[in-house]
């Protein structure tokens, strides 16, 4: 497995997927090797084993994005020496995947979202993503789309038989301690959660502004790393917030995030682009009623577990409706759990990956 920071997962959705899929495969008798980027740029390459998974630990050599590029190159060079099967998460350095193609090493690539269309990137970064996306489409043995809309997009340039749709997964959370909630001065069941990168395309300013129009009697907890002294968008969000909006910073500990989700009145998801978003799937796994931006990506994921908005006025109307209707909250929560169990459990997702890998593994 290539393309992630490594396991155990401490960084994001791809790392969590790699960990869950690798653990499933090992339990089914596969030999699994995961490439992991170490934090010491001057460190030496090494190997170890974690939970039955073999790890190749490689330094990035450089700080920042260049370190990741270097790590990807070295991982691909190392993996291409063996007569194995590669599963690559992401296409940001797909130009290097030509090495696997040249050496006839099967390589299945998870194509993530349509990164080059995201408004936050400048023209050079957009060009980088576009070219690598095109390159991955050519050199990948098989492509994985995490959402039907991503699959439809890829079919414009890739034959349908070279694409498989497999969504992201999440754990089902049936209980969680209240302490992480109480430590933030919150009352279980009397707050909303919003988790997302603080950028304009995630509608955070619209949500905070709408929520802050009047006193609600509940809190809105906005997770993320906000630096209003450095970033104009962050400053606008914080300035728009009423005293009922809480910014606890970025929280990465899974048990704390799960507790916040589990004890939330509802989850707010303002993402306007992307495929199957891990944060939205995790909210379903916690049984959260969902407020989601109205687009094809979110509607397919949340379906009848969500209330959908496009404007600040629409969000406020839905917020008032949900807070006043306990039957609606219960129905949406039940729908969230049903949707998660139907499509997004890790055994289901990892099983789909295993079936696809088995179809491409070489005999012997």
pLDDT at 364: 37
pTM of the complete model: 0.94
Give, in words, the CATH class of 13-169+346-360.
Answer: alpha beta
Q: In what order do the strands lie in the sheet with 266-269?
A: 245-249, 219-223, 191-195, 266-269, 290-293, 306-309
Given a contact cutoff of 8 angstroms between Cβ atoms, the answer to whether 111 and 136 are in contact is: yes
DSSP 3-state of 193: strand
Task: For residue 5, list its beta bridge partners.
Answer: none
Asked if the domains 13-169+346-360 and 179-343 are classified in one and the same CATH topology, the answer is yes
pLDDT in tens, the chain (364 residues): 999 999 998 767 889 999 999 999 999 999 999 999 998 877 889 999 999 999 999 998 887 888 899 999 999 999 998 889 999 999 999 999 999 999 999 999 999 888 777 777 788 888 988 999 999 999 999 999 999 999 999 999 999 999 999 999 999 999 999 999 999 999 999 999 999 999 999 999 999 999 999 999 999 999 999 999 999 999 999 999 999 999 999 998 889 999 999 999 999 999 998 899 999 999 999 999 999 999 999 999 999 999 999 999 999 999 999 999 999 999 999 999 999 999 999 999 999 999 999 999 864 3
Q: How far is 116 from 62, CA to CA, in rounded Å? A: 24
Task: Return the DSSP state at 170.
Answer: B
Give the residue ranges of DSSP H helices in the chain: 13-27, 65-79, 98-102, 123-139, 148-154, 179-183, 204-211, 232-240, 254-262, 278-285, 296-302, 312-324, 326-343, 346-360
Can you tell me whether residue 37 is helix, strand or coil? strand
DSSP states along 311-347: SHHHHHHHHHHHHH-HHHHHHHHHHHHHHHHHH-BHH
The widest CA-to-CA distance across the chain, in whole angstroms, is: 67
The CATH architecture annotation of domain 179-343 reads: 3-Layer(aba) Sandwich (3.40)
The residues spanned by each domain of the chain are 13-169+346-360, 179-343
Q: What is the pLDDT of residue 362?
A: 67
């Amino acid at each position: 497995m290539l393309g992630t920071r490594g396991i155990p997962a401490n960084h994001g959705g791809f790392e969590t997927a790699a960990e869950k899929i690798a653990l499933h495969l090992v339990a089914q008798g596969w030999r699994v090797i995961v490439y992991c980027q170490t934090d010491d740029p001057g460190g030496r390459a090494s190997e170890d084993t974690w939970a039955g998974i073999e790890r190749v630990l490689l330094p990035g050599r450089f700080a920042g994005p260049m370190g990741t590029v270097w790590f990807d190159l070295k991982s691909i060079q190392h993996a291409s020496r063996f007569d194995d099967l590669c599963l690559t998460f992401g296409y940001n350095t797909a130009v290097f995947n030509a090495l696997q193609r040249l050496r006839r090493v099967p390589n299945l690539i998870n194509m993530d979202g349509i990164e080059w269309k995201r408004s936050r990137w400048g023209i050079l970064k957009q060009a980088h993503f576009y070219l690598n996306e095109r390159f991955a489409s050519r050199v990948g043995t098989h492509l994985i789309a995490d959402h039907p809309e991503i699959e439809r997009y890829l079919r414009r340039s890739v034959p349908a038989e070279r694409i498989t749709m497999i969504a992201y997964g999440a754990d089902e959370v049936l209980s969680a301690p209240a302490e992480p909630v109480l430590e933030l001065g919150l009352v279980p069941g009397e707050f909303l959660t919003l988790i997302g990168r603080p950028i304009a395309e995630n509608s955070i300013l619209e949500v905070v502004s709408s929520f802050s129009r009047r006193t609600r009697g509940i809190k809105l907890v906005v997770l993320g790393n906000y630096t209003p002294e450095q970033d104009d968008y962050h400053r606008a969000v914080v300035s728009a917030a009423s005293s009922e909006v809480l910014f606890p910073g970025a929280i990465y500990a899974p048990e704390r995030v799960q507790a916040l989700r589990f004890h939330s009145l509802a989850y707010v998801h303002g993402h306007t682009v992307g495929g199957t978003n891990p944060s939205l799937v995790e909210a379903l796994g916690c049984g959260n009623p969902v407020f989601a931006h109205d687009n094809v990506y979110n509607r397919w994921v949340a379906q009848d577990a969500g209330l959908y908005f496009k404007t600040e006025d629409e969000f406020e109307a839905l917020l008032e409706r949900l807070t006043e209707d306990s039957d609606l909250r219960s129905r949406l929560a039940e729908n969230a759990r049903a949707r998660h169990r139907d499509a997004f459990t890790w055994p289901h997702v990892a099983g789909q990956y295993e079936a696809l890998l088995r179809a491409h593994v070489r005999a012997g």
